Amino acid sequence: MDAHGLAELLAQVQAGTVSPESAAQRIQSLPLQAVGAFAQLDGERALRAGASEVIFGERKTPEQVGQLVARLVQLGQAVLVTRIAPEAAARALESAPHGEHDPISRTFSAPAPGAERPARGKVAVVCAGTTDIPVAEEACRAAAFVGAEVLRVYDVGVSGLHRLLRRAEELRGCDAVVVCAGMEGALPSVVAGLLPRPVLAVPTSVGYGASFGGLAALLTMLNSCAANVSVVNIDNGFSAGYTAALIARQSASGRSPE
């Protein structure tokens, strides 16, 4: 349950379709959710932070992932699992049949049942090359989960700068931009120099030996001369997409009422 869901619940109490006792029971059941002996879900995360808790799927067993997804569905919350293995995705789909596994981004996502809401704010996700797409898609999934509209602009690296310039006008229509790049990691600085928007830079582990698994791109981005660039960890499309969506939604709220 997020703030929108809470408002709906209170409206139902006011209309008499839900009793105050039933509403109180639902709210009281939110705080810490013990799942087996291995996890405690933050059931109030959606109310407090605007999006429910995200499950990091790596190193969790398929059974653990399935149980965590089932509890989120039971709470009526949206689901996002990152870095999920195919076996765990199958269990997640059993717990949330309305969900979707995307093997490219290695994510599983499912909307809150009966709570489809219009996207607010617009996030552009830009990547330098086709091999950066898995990280970029993780950013897209995270941004959509938070509730922003997503524009994909792929394969526009600095080795062919004309490809990026052709999309510059579209990018200016977005509220925040995620830029994923490996190799020398120069693309975020170029994008930031073209736009009056916050740029979330994601170094990827794409490149030859001297790229050191993304460290070269990370250092380039940390040393960007563009003032509107902030940097997340190597291959961390999730954090970049999530943060960009929060920025975009806040920007949209300033333009028109929720």
Cβ atoms of residues 212 and 90 within 8 Å: no
pLDDT band at 52 (very low <50, low <70, confident <90, very high): confident
Higher pLDDT, 6 or 206: 206
Phi/psi zone of residue 36: left (φ > 0), alpha (ψ -120 to 50 degrees), beta?
left
Question: Structure pTM?
Answer: 0.85
pLDDT value at position 221? 97
Exposed (0-12), middle (13-18) or buried (19+): which is 215, by Cβ within 10 Å?
Answer: middle
Tokens at 71, concatenated: 């509890």
Residue 45 and residue 163: Cα distance in Å, rounded? 40
Exposed (0-12), middle (13-18) or buried (19+): which is 249, by Cβ within 10 Å?
Answer: buried
Cβ atoms of residues 121 and 237 within 8 Å: no
Q: Which residues contact 133 (CB under 8 A, 6 or more apart)?
A: 104, 127, 154
Higher pLDDT, 75 or 30: 75
pLDDT value at position 216? 97
pLDDT value at position 201? 98
pLDDT band at 163 (very low <50, low <70, confident <90, very high): very high
Residue 170 and residue 22: Cα distance in Å, rounded? 47
pLDDT in tens, 121-154: 999 999 999 999 999 999 999 999 999 999 999 9
**Mean pLDDT value of segment 100-104:** 97
**Mean pLDDT value of segment 208-226:** 95
Domains and CATH numbers, the chain: 23-110 (3.30.110), 122-255 (3.40.50.1970)
pLDDT value at position 203? 98
pLDDT value at position 10? 65
pLDDT in tens, 24-41: 666 655 556 667 777 777
Q: Is the pLDDT of residue 115 over 70?
A: no
- Mean pLDDT for all residues in the chain: 88
Tokens at 5, concatenated: 């869901």
Exposed (0-12), middle (13-18) or buried (19+): which is 80, by Cβ within 10 Å?
Answer: buried
pLDDT value at position 257? 47
Q: Is the pLDDT of residue 46 over 80?
A: no
- Kindly state the percentage of the chain with pLDDT values over 70: 87
